[in-house]
Structure 1
Amino acid sequence: MLLPFLQVAMNIAKFITENMEPILVEWEAFATTFGAVADKMSGRELRDHAKQILQFVAQNIQTAETKEQTHAKSQGMAKTSVNEESASSIHGRLRYASGFTLLQLIAEYRALRASVLKLWEVACGEVSADSAKDVMRFNEAIDQSLAEAAVAYAEKVNHTRDIFLAMLGHDLRSPLAVVAMAGAHLSKVGAFDEKVHRIGERVGRSAATMDGMVNDLLALARTQLGDGIPIERTPCDLCEMASVALGDAQAVHPHAIFELRTEGELTGAFDRPRLQQLLTNLANNAAQYGTPGRPIVVDVAGNSDRIVFKVSNEGPAISSASLKTMFDSLVQLPEQEGNTRPRSSLGLGLFIAKQIAVAHGGDISVQSDAMHGTVFKVGIPR
């Protein structure tokens, strides 16, 4: 039970320590209001790491702080132990596993804050001059615990999403291969009438578009899961690779005009499939946003220590604000900065292109203005 009415003010940290059970009862009671997700959980599961979180809060309040440490905590930059996962982080992960939403997790902390302050006020007959400082330290500690729980929760959400993307991309491969084979068969010259032939070509273009999306999804999942994009260098001819890459882009954009220009020594040890994906993505992007009917120029040049790819297209200049985010994942240009033709990507192409360039030890950049159009440049060391 709650301590009886006191005639002197009690330090909030001491109050939490001595009244742990009443506070936990209120925590558990609030958690039961979350409907179906809470109905399946025992009292112990509903309480989860609440006791350890409260112990952390009480200890944090009583720990001496410098002004610098107080300021860092107010900015959400408080130092945490690197040797041991906090009870707050574990709580965030377990709440995700139990089906709680992020809003419900935050609501738990909001209710905990209100419960402690309400019970403390009832127990204290008078408020000391230090009470305001106690409340401030208490709120800081609760906020720190909530931040750790929310970060752990978000990490689990992201990890689950990335595994889902990887599984989705992998599972789409087999049916996609069947669609591509059907398109190739239907579009075979002389095999069927002209109407069926055109349908086969459309099926083939759609399969090529989907194949690019699947490749980008798998590459995104690898980067997000922490593995990065694997690179395996083998001897290859980049001139031949570039021709195949533009063929892939042409399948998706049959009306686009691609011009390939090569110069210098273009044989060496590279990851051909990855560079083909990189160049195809850049070519698809140029066809997506370039001026219809104007050529897209692809330059591949090699010297003694470096390979340089350039993909240039005419079209509206890209704003400086958009240039800063072009290589982020799931980013597409606003319609006013490109044409309004149907989008055929997930907004991953440029992100994946950058990851492939970086995995090769290279870099990628972009320049855009009304006079010269948009030029992507990729440098890959030998």
Structure 2
Amino acid sequence: MKLSTFITSNMQEILTEWDHFASILEPERILSKKEIRDHAEQILRAIAVDIDTRQSPGEQLDKSRGMSSDKTATTGASIHGTARQGDGFTLLQLTAEYRALRATVQRLWFALGNELSPEHSADLIRFNEAIDQALAESVVTYSAQATLARDTFLAILGHDLRGPLATIALSGSLLSQPGIKMEAVATAASRIKRSASVMNSMVNDLLEYARAELGGEMPMTFATADILDICQAAIADASALHPNCPFLLDAPESTIGEFDRVRLQQVLTNLLNNAAQYRGDEKPVTMTMSSTAQSVMVAIRNSGALIPKDAIDAIFDPMVQLAITNEQPARAPTSLGLGLYIAKTITAAHGGTISVVSEKLTGTVFTVVIPL
């Protein structure tokens, strides 16, 4: 059987193996079947067509160099590279998908008793050329998307650092004026402290993100702590960054458990900052804490604009930012798009879960559940 015919005739079996391998690459992500298969079928059908398409020696050379004959064409492979970067796959995982796809097709094909006749050898050569071409297209678009995300991130960082730095500089200039009154000194000191807190929050987020991206484990120090104290400390931190936002805590009593106090406080502070940022009216941000014998649950609610349904799945990915509506204030100076990603990472390190519901009746509610 020709290899191209085998691919089109056994598409579902090949895709099933693709599904399984992709789920192994990202075991912590709950990927839908459609998301796992992504553009695999489109890639395979293009490969089958390529095997049966005559090519000149020059076209074969271009393909071996990863050069498409039509650089403006949007292929399944090019779309796949962009999508995988957005899904949080690493470049190594992307290339591993193609390695597995190559091995799967060849293994299943030979399992049917196909031998290496001259015709089959020619098919294999064309198949491997097509796989390499598809991989090259995916890597190009993956890298381009990663570069765009990095440049956007750096632009946001540079823009957001200028705000608190300017405040510190102006306050310092004010403090150096002769005859300054004590009331002005207290105001300037308060502004400097708030700006330093903003910058410290941004730097902490950068460090945690860099550690996660480099594959390092987030250091955790578990000790007996009261979750009520952690909630109160998180509200104090968020209030320093958002002095005009009222925060309310509804917690019946102390709840003792084994936590990394500093990290868990960072989770709750990030969620409170996010809620304050997207608060679209004068209603307060509320934090509700409850517990069972096994776990503690903290829910943080705001009544601002709802999160679009198509953005819910990506809300915890790094460098994801929601659009600000006319009903909302300007984007907070700590909005690097890392807070929710770091909150998810720390929560997972505690063996817990974090989720979000955004509906008209309830508002937007982020819920953290941590084992005691």
Unaligned runs of 5+ in 1: 1-62, 81-104, 114-129, 170-175
CA 289–112 in structure 1, closer or farther in 2 if over 3 Å, else same: closer
> Is 1:204 aligned with 2:161?
no
> Is 1:144 aligned with 2:131?
yes
Alpha-carbon offset, residue 238 of structure 1: 1.7
Alpha-carbon deviations, 1:266-300, whole Å to 9, x = none?
A: 12210111110000001001100113431111112
CA 381–338 in structure 1, closer or farther in 2 if over 3 Å, else same: farther
- The amino acid that maps onto 2:127 is E
- The amino acid that maps onto 1:347 is G
Alpha-carbon offset, residue 131 of structure 1: 11
CA 381–112 in structure 1, closer or farther in 2 if over 3 Å, else same: same
Find the counterpart in structure 1 of residue 361 from structure 2: 371
Alpha-carbon offset, residue 133 of structure 1: 8.8
CA 307–207 in structure 1, closer or farther in 2 if over 3 Å, else same: same
Alpha-carbon offset, residue 112 of structure 1: 11
Find the counterpart in structure 1 of residue 288 from structure 2: 299
8 Å Cα contact 1:367-1:374 kept in structure 2: yes
Find the counterpart in structure 2 of residue 330 from structure 1: 319
Find the counterpart in structure 2 of residue 319 from structure 1: 308
CA distance in 2, matches of 1:264, 1:364: 22
CA distance in 2, matches of 1:211, 1:218: 11
Alpha-carbon deviations, 1:253-272, whole Å to 9, x = none?
A: 11110111212441221011
Find the counterpart in structure 2 of residue 67 from structure 1: 6
8 Å Cα contact 2:299-2:368 kept in structure 1: yes
> Is 1:351 aligned with 2:336?
no
Unaligned runs of 5+ in 2: 22-61, 71-116, 158-163
CA 248–319 in structure 1, closer or farther in 2 if over 3 Å, else same: same
**3-state secondary structure, aligned to 1:336:** coil
Alpha-carbon offset, residue 329 of structure 1: 1.2
Find the counterpart in structure 2 of residue 251 from structure 1: 240
- The amino acid that maps onto 1:109 is G
Find the counterpart in structure 2 of residue 110 from structure 1: 67
8 Å Cα contact 1:317-1:337 kept in structure 2: no
Find the structure with the greater CA-based Rg.
1
Find the counterpart in structure 2 of residue 286 from structure 1: 275
CA distance in 2, matches of 1:327, 1:311: 15
Find the counterpart in structure 1 of residue 80 from structure 2: none
| TM-score (norm: length of structure 2) | 0.57
8 Å Cα contact 2:205-2:342 kept in structure 1: yes
Alpha-carbon deviations, 1:196-222, whole Å to 9, x = none?
A: 432322222222122122222222222
2:205 to 190, 212, 216: 216
Find the counterpart in structure 1 of residue 40 from structure 2: none
- In the TM superposition, 1:80-95 aligns within 5 A as none
Alpha-carbon offset, residue 351 of structure 1: 1.3
**3-state secondary structure, aligned to 1:260:** strand
8 Å Cα contact 1:289-1:338 kept in structure 2: no
CA 285–112 in structure 1, closer or farther in 2 if over 3 Å, else same: closer
CA distance in 1, matches of 2:339, 2:68: 44
Alpha-carbon deviations, 1:57-101, whole Å to 9, x = none?
A: xxxxxx9788149977x9896xx9xxxxxxxxxxxxxxxxxxxxx
- The amino acid that maps onto 1:144 is I
CA 339–295 in structure 1, closer or farther in 2 if over 3 Å, else same: same
CA 356–135 in structure 1, closer or farther in 2 if over 3 Å, else same: same
8 Å Cα contact 2:64-2:132 kept in structure 1: no
% same residue: 32
CA 199–71 in structure 1, closer or farther in 2 if over 3 Å, else same: farther
**3-state secondary structure, aligned to 1:109:** coil
Alpha-carbon offset, residue 378 of structure 1: 0.7
Name segments (4+ residues, structure 1) moved above 4 Å.
63-66, 68-72, 74-77, 130-139, 146-155
8 Å Cα contact 1:316-1:337 kept in structure 2: no
Q: CA RMSD in A?
A: 4.8
Alpha-carbon offset, residue 252 of structure 1: 0.8
Alpha-carbon deviations, 1:316-371, whole Å to 9, x = none?
A: 22221122221111111112386141332101111111111111111111112223
**3-state secondary structure, aligned to 2:365:** strand
8 Å Cα contact 2:66-2:136 kept in structure 1: no
Alpha-carbon offset, residue 158 of structure 1: 7.3
Aligned residue-pair number: 266
- In the TM superposition, 1:235-274 aligns within 5 A as 235-274=224-263
| TM-score (norm: length of structure 1) | 0.56
CA 135–64 in structure 1, closer or farther in 2 if over 3 Å, else same: closer
